[in-house]
Structure 1
Amino acid sequence: MKPYSTSGLTDADDGEAQSPAIRFLVESALRKIASDYVNRRPRGREDWIERLCAALMSESDTSHKAVISALISTGVTSEQVYQDYVPEAARRLGEMWISDTASFVDVTLGAARLQALFRAAGDARGLPMLDRSIPLGEEILMVIPEFEQHALGAFVAADTFRRHGVWVRMAIGMETPELVELLREGRFSAVGLSLATRKTVEQAGELIEYLRANVRSLPPVIVGGRIVAEDVAAVRRCGADHAVRSVREAIERCGLATVTERLTVRESSQG
């Protein structure tokens, strides 16, 4: 005969009765923690970027937009969001992938949402929606070499160049002879490389050396990416003309014509 508790239930039955209640308490506590995190206002730039990265990789399709709206409500301009916070979030996603603190699926989802933000931004930065619709005569070749696995930075940079009215042609995983042929046929104002690690810097050096040896009039070679902030000296040794930390710096170093400059010239001539 089974032993009965004072309540008239067996121990097993008592455990089964308590399980839903315990599960409810645990789930309520987790929801409370998640709610507190969402409702807690970030205290500074680092907190905002952390919140944005979490939202970009969340199950919600709109939470990252809510984070950006909340950020703008604090007085941060759209220009600052797209020039500072979004590129930094992209860099963080890449770091999380490299350090294995986020899965490939999560980082890919976050990257896709970032690219969608750039496409949908329109005139959020005070500029017309730019792609290839406003040709200013400047075109760069953005190269994602076969040895570089982290391509998000290159896509973010390409979108930013386009918003300044600079055409961008993507060369993804092309072999070096193909790149040489493309550079010989095109009229590029610059060649861009986005690099993530010291290993890819060494391989980029070999690529740049090959291009210089086989392209008679090679345009300026620009190197950007996470590694520039970590070891700019190593990047300079790879043979690039410029090691830059932002698209704005790349534009200035190469003297590229931008929409902002054209608008300024037009306003001056009209005045």
Structure 2
Amino acid sequence: MQAFHPRDQATAASQDGGAVTSFASQVVSMLASRSARAVSELREPVIVGLVAASTSGSKDAFASLLLEVRRARITLAALADLYIPEAARRMGQAWLDDQMSWMDVSIGVGRMQSLLREIGAAWAADQAGDAGHGTVLLLVAEREQHTLGPMVVMGQLRRFGVSVCLRIAPTFAELNTLLATRQFDGILISVSTKDKLEAVAKTVEFLKNLMSQPCPIVVGGAVMARVEDLAACTGADFSTNDIGAALEGIGLKFDASCVLRRA
């Protein structure tokens, strides 16, 4: 996310002019927080190979790609944080440009999500024995067609040593049960499109009324590119797409050594 906004600073931006679907919006906006310099420094053959491996259907495609990743000395952290989102962005753009079918993009992004799960398994703070870096609840709004963006965020949080509880489109009853048994230092909510703002605002209101010991609620996601102040629109405490800023807003310190240790 490009900025860090406490609530009540601005109003929502004007409505979208085009009927862009939720899926296209999510994958095309995935790199909104990445600088042009960071993207330009990525190795093009790896990006092209990642797209090809995701859409080929070959069982050996990813194995060959990972050999190239090792030869190029690209860390798994860079693969998860930079290369996979850029590959997904290009696939989404190819769909919008009628160069790739929706089916190919959907299957390809799904395969990259599986790859993310595999390479991120060692980063789970809950399994690594880390303590003292906090616990957050990461919520994904309902009707998301893919959760690649939130999975990237989850991997980043866990490499910072933060324990993450991920819930996708939970009901109010499920949230009630969860918060009755667990305490969180903060709640992060990922939102991809403006049509979900009303539902997210209701979720934020429900959470604030539910918690006996309130914790900060931070909202972010691809929708920030089209809304001036997401916090004001949803009633959350802060809005940002920057993981470090989100953790600071929650009041958690993040340990850079965890990132270096697991990259």
Using the size of structure 2 for normalisation, the TM-score is 0.64
Equivalent of residue 235 in structure 1, options 230, 239, 242? 230
1:41-190 matches, within 5 Å, as 45=42, 47=44, 49=47, 52-64=50-62, 66-67=64-65, 70=68, 78-91=76-89, 101-104=100-103, 106-120=105-119, 129-133=123-127, 134-137=129-132, 138-190=134-186
In structure 2, the CA distance between the partners of 1:222 and 1:173, relative to structure 1 (3 Å rule), is same
Is the deviation greater in 109-118 or in 183-192? 109-118
Residue identity (%): 25
**Residue aligning to 1:37:** none
Distance 1:55 1:121 in 2: 19
Amino acid in the other structure paired with 2:228: A
Q: What 5-or-longer segments of structure 1 have no aligned partner?
A: 1-42, 123-127, 265-271
Distance 1:121 1:185 in 2: 26
Distance 1:224 1:61 in 2: 35
Distance 1:174 1:186 in 2: 15
Bigger CA radius of gyration: 1
Q: What 5-or-longer segments of structure 2 have no aligned partner?
A: 1-39
Q: Which has the higher contact order (CA 8 A, sep 6+)?
A: 2
Once the two structures are TM-superposed, the CA of residue 197 in structure 1 deviates from its matched residue by 0.8
Distance 2:211 2:199 in 1: 18
**Residue aligning to 2:196:** 200
Secondary structure of the structure 1 residue equivalent to 2:131: coil
In structure 2, the CA distance between the partners of 1:121 and 1:139, relative to structure 1 (3 Å rule), is closer
CA deviations on 1:177-217 (whole Å, 9 max, x unpaired) are: 33134224311111122211111123212221222233233
CA deviations on 1:117-176 (whole Å, 9 max, x unpaired) are: 453367xxxxx7444222324211111233434322222222332222211112233212
CA-based RMSD: 3.6
Once the two structures are TM-superposed, the CA of residue 67 in structure 1 deviates from its matched residue by 4.9
Amino acid in the other structure paired with 2:149: G
Using the size of structure 1 for normalisation, the TM-score is 0.62
